[in-house]
């Protein structure tokens, strides 16, 4: 049976959304009540503005999260495939991390002195990602911001090159997009400090010719990229793209920074280790401390030597790289335990096999209903898009976004006990995720596909 997209009528999408919204409101009276009260003290009734971006008429407040299950204040359990948009890829409160953190909480949280755990963390990150010298930050955003500063400092060049529709956190230089080949602030960028075309060059992912033209201008300090884009849906690198990018960056004297914050989903050493990349610097954050706020950046011996040569040690605390709580003992203890006991090789085997199961279930339903959609998997992360072809660039991925279907599918899943990452149809597997949870999503997806094709 192949009925296809032409049979997905917009009136059906709208009617299903209205039905789901009524069901949502009826099922979440306590969340609604808390949100009403929260509006009096929190901007928009949430502790951070993007929490308004969940589906439904108000945010769901949660009471507990454990393993891959979240329980809300109205008593509903959810199979959590969002996992804090990767911050909880370890599963919620993994016991090994919780134990290490509990111990550290009672024996000194932050002191301005290094703790012994940091040595084990540096060694393990070096072993996993193949770059030898590490620093610990409070977030992945910070790691990216500091690496950009360091790249400018040691190359003496002013610009950063990023790919269109990238996301690297709230980093000024990377909150940009292309508008007819002109670099502009991305939609929603709050108070951009300067015209971003002064700081940043932007080309499309997978376009080596455009990359070469940009690098040939000679003012790019570093290329900052995820190895596959994951924040505009998944955009996989084309064959030869990484080799070409490495060659071009070397040829034109630009450093190559690989942001593994999301692509750690590929394995213990991220995409870098899985595919033998040779970055000059690696940045990371989110899940490496099991959900405790942290980030890190690492560099090769050669870059470390140049950084040390350029560091004004008398001013190391005020040079724009740092943060009083960066490298605090609590975060570092959490990373050590998480890497040693949670995000292990064995855990990834389980997580990747669940993502394959997710992918197969979604593919089968797409096929059965003849829908012009597709699913892409990257390690233990999978995502479906409401468009027939896999995008090769950020612009293609952004153009494929269907806001009406997106909000319907998120709400449809939530109402059936499955949490998807709010900004797109992304699912992530943790060591605690089960086949039953993946199958719950597959069943709901099949039901939605069926209703949409009626």
Ligand X SMILES: Cc1ncc(COP(=O)(O)O)c(C=O)c1O
CA distances from 437 to 15, 412, 414, 446 (A): 27, 15, 13, 14
The 3-state DSSP class for residue 394 equals: helix
Cβ at position 266, least distance to ligand X in Å: 13
CB 139 within 8 A of CB 151: no
Tokens for 319?
């040079």
The one among 226, 280, 383, 406 contacting ligand X by CB under 6 A? 226
Shortest gap between Cβ of 257 and ligand X (angstroms)?
11
The residues facing 72 across adjacent strands are 62
CB of 326 to ligand X, least distance (A): 13
Structure tokens at 382: 């999978």
The least CB distance from residue 91 to ligand X, in Å, is 18
Using the rule CB under 6 A, give the single segment among 138-146, 201-209, 273-281, 409-417 that binds ligand X.
138-146
Nearer to ligand X, 85 or 383 (CB): 85
Binding-site size for ligand X (CB under 6 A) equals 15
Which of 143, 172, 150 lies closest to 323, judged by CA? 143
Q: Which is nearer to ligand X, 291 or 361 (CB)?
A: 291
Residues 290, 270: Cα–Cα separation, whole Å:
16
User: In the block, which residue shows the tokens 């797409």?
Assistant: 366
Distance CA 222, CA 144 (A): 11
Taking the CA atoms of 163, 168, 169 and 171 in sequence, report the sign of the dihedral they define.
Answer: negative
Q: Is 202 helix (H, G, I), strand (E, B) or coil?
A: strand
* Residue 47 CB coordination number (10 Å): 10
Minimum CB separation of residue 343 from ligand X in Å reads: 16
Please, what is the angle between helix 301-310 and helix 140-155, to 10°? 70
What letter would DSSP give residue 408?
H
Q: Does 165 bind ligand X (CB under 6 A)?
A: no
**Nearest-CB residue to ligand X?**
169
- With CB under 6 A as the contact rule, the residue among 90, 115, 200, 231 that binds ligand X is 231
Query: With respect to ligand X, which residue has the nearer C-beta, 365 or 427?
Result: 427
User: Interface with ligand X includes 67 (CB under 6 A)?
Assistant: no
Report helix, strand or coil for 132. coil
CB nearer to ligand X: give 26 or 48: 48
Residue 245: CB minimum distance to ligand X, A: 16
Comparing CB distances to ligand X, the nearer of 139 and 415 is 139
Q: DSSP string spanning 105-127?
A: HTS-S--SS--THHHHHHHHHHH
Looking at residues 241 to 300 of the shown chain, list those that interact with ligand X (rule: CB under 6 A).
259, 261-262, 285-286
The nearer residue to ligand X, 89 or 400, going by C-beta atoms, is: 89
**Of residues 59 and 287, the one with the C-beta less far from ligand X:** 287
Q: Report the Cα–Cα distance between both ends of the chain, in Å, rounded.
A: 12
The position carrying tokens 């279930």 is: 361
Choice from 141, 200, 300, 374 touching ligand X (CB under 6 A)? 141
Near ligand X by CB under 6 A: residue from 159, 168, 336, 410 = 168
Which among 163-171, 205-213, 394-402, 430-438 is the span making contact with ligand X, rule CB under 6 A? 163-171
Map tokens 């080799």 to a residue: 243
Does residue 139 interact with ligand X by CB under 6 A?
Answer: yes
Q: How far is 348 from 218, CA to CA, in rounded Å?
A: 40
Helix 10-27 × helix 403-415 angle, to 10°: 40
Q: Of 20 and 173, which CB lies nearer to ligand X in the complex structure? A: 173
Please provide the DSSP assignment of 215-229 as one string.
HTTS-EEEEEE-SSB
Residue range at the interface with ligand X (CB under 6 A); choices 116-124, 133-141, 154-162, 383-391? 133-141
Are residues 345 and 358 in contact, defined by beta-carbon separation less than 8 angstroms? no
Site string for ligand X, 10-39 (x = CB under 6 A): ------------------------------
Q: Tokens 């989903």 sit at which residue?
A: 265
Contact flags string 169-198 toward ligand X, x per CB under 6 A: x-----------------------------
Out of 140, 299, 395, 413, the only residue in the binding site for ligand X (CB under 6 A) is: 140
Residue among 8 and 326 whose Cβ is closer to ligand X: 326
Within positions 378 to 397, which residues make up the interface with ligand X, using CB under 6 A?
none
| Beta-carbon-side half-sphere exposure of residue 50 (alpha carbons within 13 Å) | 8
CB closer to ligand X out of 167 and 348: 167
Contact partners, residue 335, CB within 8 Å, separation at least 6: 117, 121, 136, 288, 289, 294, 296
Minimum CB distance to ligand X, residue 165 (Å): 12
Residues that bind ligand X (CB under 6 A): 85, 139-141, 144, 167-169, 226, 231, 259, 261-262, 285-286
């Amino acid at each position: 049976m192949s009925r296809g997209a032409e049979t997905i009528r917009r009136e059906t999408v709208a009617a299903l959304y209205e039905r789901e919204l009524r069901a949502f409101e009826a099922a979440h009276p306590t969340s609604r009540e808390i949100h009403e009260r929260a509006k009096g003290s929190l901007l928009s009734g949430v502790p951070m503005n993007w929490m308004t971006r969940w589906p439904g008429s108000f945010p769901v407040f949660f009471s507990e999260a454990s393993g891959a299950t979240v329980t809300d204040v109205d008593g509903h359990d959810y199979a959590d495939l969002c996992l804090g948009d990767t911050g909880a890829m370890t599963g919620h409160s993994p016991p090994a991390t919780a134990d290490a953190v509990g111990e550290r909480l009672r024996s000194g949280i932050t002191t301005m002195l290094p703790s012994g755990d940091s040595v084990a963390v540096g060694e393990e990150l070096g072993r996993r990602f193949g770059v030898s010298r590490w620093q610990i930050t409070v977030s992945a955003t910070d790691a990216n911001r500091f690496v950009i500063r360091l790249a400018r400092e040691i190359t003496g060049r002013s610009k950063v090159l990023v790919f269109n529709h990238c996301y690297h956190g709230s980093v000024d230089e990377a909150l940009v997009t292309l508008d007819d080949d002109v670099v502009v602030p991305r939609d929603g960028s709050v108070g951009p400090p300067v015209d971003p075309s002064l700081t940043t060059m932007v080309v499309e992912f997978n376009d080596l010719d455009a990359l070469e033209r940009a690098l040939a201008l000679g003012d790019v300090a570093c290329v900052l990229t995820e190895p596959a884009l994951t924040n505009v849906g998944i955009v996989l690198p084309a064959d030869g793209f990484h080799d070409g990018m490495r060659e071009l960056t070397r040829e034109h004297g630009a450093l190559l920074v690989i942001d593994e914050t999301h692509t750690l989903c590929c394995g213990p050493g991220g995409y870098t280790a899985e595919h033998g990349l040779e970055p000059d610097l690696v940045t990371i954050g989110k899940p490496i401390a099991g959900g405790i706020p942290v980030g890190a950046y690492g560099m090769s011996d050669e870059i470390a030597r140049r950084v040390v040569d350029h560091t004004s040690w008398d001013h190391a605390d005020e040079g724009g790289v740092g943060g009083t709580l960066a490298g605090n003992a609590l975060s570092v203890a959490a990373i050590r335990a998480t890497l040693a006991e949670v995000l292990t090789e064995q855990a990834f085997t389980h997580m990747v096999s669940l993502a394959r199961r997710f992918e197969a279930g979604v593919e089968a339903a797409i096929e059965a209903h003849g829908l012009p959609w597709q699913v892409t998997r990257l390690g233990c992360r999978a995502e479906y898009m409401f468009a027939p072809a896999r995008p090769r660039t950020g612009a293609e991925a952004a153009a494929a976004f269907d806001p009406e279907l997106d909000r319907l599918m998120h709400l449809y899943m939530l109402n059936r006990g499955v949490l998807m990452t709010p900004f797109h149809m992304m699912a992530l597997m943790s060591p605690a995720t089960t086949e039953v949870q993946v199958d719950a999503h597959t069943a709901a997806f099949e039901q939605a596909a069926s209703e949409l094709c009626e």
